[in-house]
């Protein structure tokens, strides 16, 4: 899997949100802020799973 930079992930998420909302013009900053929050939350969640030994058990 290709590792995207955080900025690329935010850009892709902002575009996705923009499309979901009907591609409204003039709201780029709001979509960027929402996307940034979502991507940062995903990163924190992923880091938490790495640090939690219960999540790293092999089945």
The domain of 43 spans 6-56
Q: Are 57 and 24 in contact (CB under 8 A)?
A: no
Whether pLDDT at 1 is above 60: no
pLDDT in tens, 13-51: 999 999 999 998 999 999 999 999 999 999 999 888 776
**What separation in angstroms does the CA of 57 have from each of 6, 22, 44, 53?**
28, 42, 20, 7
- Domain membership flag for residue 50: yes
Whether 1 is covered by a domain: the verdict is no
* pTM of the predicted protein model: 0.73
What are the tokens at 48? Answer: 């938490």
- Structural domains of the chain, count: 1
């Amino acid at each position: 899997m290709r590792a995207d930079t955080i900025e690329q992930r935010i850009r892709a998420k902002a575009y996705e949100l923009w499309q979901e909302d009907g591609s409204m013009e003039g709201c780029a900053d709001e979509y960027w802020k929402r996307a940034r929050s979502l991507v940062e939350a995903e990163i924190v969640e992923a880091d938490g799973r790495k640090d939690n030994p219960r999540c790293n058990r092999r089945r």
